Amino acid sequence: MNIFDVVGPVMVGPSSSHTAGAVRIGNVSRKLLGEEPAEAKIGLHGSFLATGAGHGTDRALIAGLLGLSVDDYRIPDSFSLARERGLHFSFHPVDLGENAHPNSAKLELKSRSGRELEVVGASVGGGRISIRELDGLEANFSGDYPTLIVHNLDQPGHVAEVTSMLSHKGVNIATMQLYRSGRGGYAVMILECDQEIPEEGVKWLEHLEGVVKVTYYSLL
């Protein structure tokens, strides 16, 4: 535990969980999309739905999608900034189930080039977040590390190919998680790393047989 776990992050308030955490969910989702978002349909769950308006959760999520930081004074004006940049957005209630964190949102994003991404994120306190789902598959990562997400067919060899590439590029794996829809079905691996992954390594993975989609979250 450090001092920011007690006093929270430097931010535009009023709430570290409902405001700062929401900005981070939007920011991470923007980076995962990999392009400027043009459309955003956002479902609010639990406490985000019940008390989010008073805490500016809706404006904070949009601010994050615009790339604003948690201490940006423009967060309260994010709706008008979004309209200026051509980001079309809407909000609706969503029930993510009894096991979902109460401070959760589901973001359905589309870029101008047509790239799409669905993210479920939770604000877990003190400005910290957890990405819980990507494109309908389970996930669990914080956005605190460079993160590689590989969607692939559930076949032998994919984990070895990914870890070998990272080793070759001198990238150390901090955490690794594996999920799948069912044996022989659709799978995802999530690797939080200690170093940024070179672009050529990510592009190499994209061309491997059996790899459906590669998403890279960079801190840069």
Q: Which CATH number fits the domain that encloses residue 184? A: 3.30.70.260
Select from 115, 141, 167 the last residue of a domain.
141
**C-alpha–C-alpha distance, residues 19 and 13, integer Å:** 6
CATH number of residue 67's parent domain: 3.30.1330.90
Hey, what amino acid is at 182? G
Same structural domain, 126 and 152: no
Same structural domain, 100 and 163: no
Same structural domain, 113 and 191: no
Same structural domain, 119 and 42: yes
Listed residue (141, 156, 162, 150) closest to 188, CA to CA: 150
Give the per-residue pLDDT at 161: 96
Same structural domain, 137 and 172: no
pLDDT in single tens digits along all 220 residues of the chain: 444 444 444 444 445 577 899 999 999 999 999 899 999 999 999 999 998 788 889 999 999 999 999 989 999 999 999 999 999 999 999 999 999 999 999 999 999 999 999 999 999 988 899 999 988 888 889 999 999 999 999 999 999 999 999 999 999 999 999 988 878 788 999 999 999 999 999 999 999 999 998 999 999 8
Same structural domain, 117 and 195: no
Query: How many CA atoms does the CB half-sphere of 211 hold within 13 Å?
Result: 20
Same structural domain, 17 and 122: yes
Structure tokens at 17: 């969980």
Same structural domain, 40 and 128: yes
Give the per-residue pLDDT at 209: 94
Listed residue (68, 82, 58, 59) closest to 24, CA to CA: 68
**C-alpha–C-alpha distance, residues 23 and 180, integer Å:** 29
**Vertex 187: Cα angle to 159 and 132 (nearest 5):** 105
Same structural domain, 10 and 116: yes
Same structural domain, 159 and 212: yes
H or E segment and range at residue 41? strand 37-45
Determine the 3-state secondary structure of 58 from DSSP: helix
Select from 109, 141, 173 the last residue of a domain.
141
Q: Which domain holds residue 184?
A: 147-217
**C-alpha–C-alpha distance, residues 172 and 182, integer Å:** 29
| Total of domains in the chain | 2
Select from 141, 159, 178 the last residue of a domain.
141
Q: What pTM value is reported for the model?
A: 0.85
Same structural domain, 14 and 37: yes
User: Exposed, middle or buried, 207 (CB in 10 Å: 0-12/13-18/19+)?
Assistant: exposed
Longest Cα pair distance anywhere in the chain, in angstroms? 49
Same structural domain, 17 and 107: yes
